[in-house]
């Protein structure tokens, strides 16, 4: 007999922990096998993944048809517009935290869809251009600051501050009554 369980999980919180970890790597640690130049990349990607989790969590709480709306790859700006429209609050992406978030996501796109480069130039390092650019513009600390400010702003605007550090809860709810085909 199938029984009913519940799960509440915001993966955004887990990725936020990754960003924090990238801010305190111990390069002398034998179990850490990450090149130093790659740490800002992981922090940036973790910040984007975390923000995606929080945006989806807020969307599910405030937008009645969120599951129908968010069926495919929807740009982060469009998801924020949907949330802020539902909240009846203005969303300004031309400056402030949301401009920084969109810039962070543009860099994410460059990282997850990298372009092959075949050129010759004089350089002082062997780090690939894209990784050097990430390191210059988005230190792990900077990615963390953008993440924290965006999460705080989003949750405050949605009046969901109590969900900021929600990790995962699950448990037994009780036996399912009636039709078991849905489970």
Spell out the domain ranges in the chain.
Answer: 3-119+132-160
Sign of CA dihedral 8, 9, 12, 16: positive
pTM comes to 0.80
The region of weakest confidence among 34-48, 64-78, 108-122 is: 108-122
Contact 101, 76 (CB under 8 A): yes
CA atoms within 13 A on the CB side of 155: 18
The angle at the Cα of 144, spanning 169 to 126, to the nearest 5 degrees, equals 125
Contact 22, 46 (CB under 8 A): yes
Q: How far apart are CA 162 and CA 150, in angstroms?
A: 15
Q: Is 82 helix (H, G, I), strand (E, B) or coil?
A: helix
CA 34 to chain centre: 21
Query: Which of the listed ranges 18-27, 59-68, 159-168 does the model predict with the highest average pLDDT?
Result: 59-68
Place of tokens 């993440």: 147
What would the pLDDT profile of 118-171 be if each residue is shown by its tens digit? 777 777 766 567 888 899 999 999 999 999 999 999 999 999 988 877 655 545
Place of tokens 């989806």: 56
Average confidence score pLDDT of the chain: 84
């Amino acid at each position: 007999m199938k029984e009913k369980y519940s799960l509440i999980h915001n993966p955004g919180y887990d990725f936020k922990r990754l960003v924090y970890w990238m801010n305190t790597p111990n390069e002398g640690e034998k179990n850490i096998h990450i090149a130093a130049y790659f740490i800002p990349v992981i922090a940036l990607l973790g910040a984007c993944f975390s923000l995606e989790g929080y945006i989806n969590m807020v969307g599910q709480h405030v937008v009645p048809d969120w599951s129908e709306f968010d069926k495919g790859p929807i740009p982060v700006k469009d998801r924020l517009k949907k949330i802020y429209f539902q909240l009846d609050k203005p969303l300004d992406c031309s400056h402030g935290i949301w401009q920084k978030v969109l810039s962070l996501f543009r860099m994410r796109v460059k990282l997850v869809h990298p372009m092959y480069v075949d050129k010759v130039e004089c350089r002082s390092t062997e780090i690939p251009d894209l990784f050097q650019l990430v390191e210059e513009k988005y230190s792990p600390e900077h990615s963390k600051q953008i993440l924290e400010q965006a999460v705080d702003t989003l949750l405050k605007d949605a009046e969901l501050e109590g969900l900021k550090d929600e990790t995962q809860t699950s448990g037994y709810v009780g036996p399912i009554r009636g039709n078991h085909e849905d489970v």
